[in-house]
Chains A and B, each alone.
Chain A
Amino acid sequence: MKLDLFDDLMLDAMSAYLGRMSRRQQVVASNLANIDTPGYKSRDISFHATMQELLSEDSIGLKTSLSRHIQAGNPVSLQSAAFEVPGLGLRADGNNVDLDSEMLKLSETAFGYSLITQVVRGKFRTLALSINGGNG
């Protein structure tokens, strides 16, 4: 019998979420760095569909789903699928990065990341308490 302490903690899903938020920050940083680069087109990553998929499965199905994704060739397929954002206004220099919406994405992403790290931290702490029963 293995000690499956961590099975119900949703750690895999939360870890995947953190990875995606980190990835999104990279992409937003890229957009902001290139806000004045002629011809540069704003990017984002699509992740909602995959996250839903991950969250709707139970923990065993989750592990299978994750490893299936990773074995599907590139780990990047789970994390990114970056695309050019459609429907943005084009400026004279061919650049379509919108400063305000990028700043908004920054806040959203940072907040989501902060939230989930706190959840992870809390779960580990609760686990530690129940293991040690208040004896340290």
Chain B
Amino acid sequence: MSLMTAIEVGASGLSAQRKRLEVLVSNLVNANTTKPADVEPYRRKDVVFSAANPETTFSIALDGAVQGVEISEVVTDQSAPRMKYEPDHPHADKDGYVAYPNVNAMEEMVNILSATRSYEANLQAVNSAKEMAEKTLEIIS
């Protein structure tokens, strides 16, 4: 069967994990940023993965056992911001509370680690298929 399809499936995984990574890094970087009291604080974002048929260069019907992946949407976590009592903070509200983003830095770091591992695994899948194709051509040499 086809190694090209394996490469395309792996590539879709790389693309999805990269998008996820961007969102996670954005969360982490903004974990402790605050905004003036009348502005919405940063809210945590997340990605939704869904299986999708890869856009193959050749239109070969896959039999359902092989699927690529895509990020079908980026969602915002609507849970409440973390309120901290810091009356001297320039962004404190009239009660002295500052709204911090609903991001847990530790959690985001763990997620970043996981996304990195998944990215590397997909990279391995792509490279492996590529090597197999190269080996095949060596039969002719």
Residues on A facing B (Cβ under 8 Å) = 18-23, 25-30, 32-38, 40, 43, 45, 76, 79-80, 82, 99, 102-103, 106-107, 109-110, 113-114, 117-118, 120-121, 124
- Kindly list chain A residues whose C-beta atoms are within 8 Å of the C-beta of B66: 26-27, 29-30, 82
CA distance A113 to B122 in the complex (A): 19
Q: Are A28 and B136 in contact (CB under 8 A)?
A: no
8 A Cβ contacts from B1-55 to A:
1-3, 5-7, 9-10, 12-13, 16-17, 20, 48-51
- Kindly list chain A residues whose C-beta atoms are within 8 Å of the C-beta of B114: 36
What is the distance, in angstroms, from A60's C-beta to the closest C-beta of chain B?
24
Q: Are B135 and A114 in contact (CB under 8 A)?
A: yes
Least CB separation from A37: chain B residue: B49
- Kindly list chain A residues whose C-beta atoms are within 8 Å of the C-beta of B63: 76, 80, 82
What is the distance, in angstroms, from A16's C-beta to the closest C-beta of chain B?
11
Known contacts A26-B1, A80-B65; is A32 also within 8 Å of B125 by CB?
A: yes
Interface contacts beyond A32-B124, A36-B20, A117-B136: sample of 20 additional A-B pairs, CB < 8 Å, sorted by A: A18-B136, A21-B132, A22-B1, A26-B5, A27-B65, A27-B66, A29-B122, A30-B9, A33-B12, A34-B13, A35-B13, A37-B50, A37-B69, A45-B65, A80-B63, A80-B65, A109-B128, A110-B131, A113-B132, A120-B139
Q: Are B121 and A103 in contact (CB under 8 A)?
A: yes
- For the complex, is B68 an interface residue (Cβ under 8 Å from A)? yes
Least CB separation from B129: chain A residue: A25
Known contacts A37-B49, A106-B128, A117-B139; is A26 also within 8 Å of B122 by CB?
A: no
What is the distance, in angstroms, from A95's C-beta to the closest C-beta of chain B?
9
From A33, A38, A80, contact of B16 by CB (8 A): A33
Q: Are B65 and A43 in contact (CB under 8 A)?
A: yes
CA distance A18 to B129 in the complex (A): 12
Q: Are B122 and A36 in contact (CB under 8 A)?
A: no
Q: Are B1 and A121 in contact (CB under 8 A)?
A: no
- Kindly list chain A residues whose C-beta atoms are within 8 Å of the C-beta of B1: 19-20, 22-23, 26, 79-80
- Kindly list chain B residues whose C-beta atoms are within 8 Å of the C-beta of A120: 139
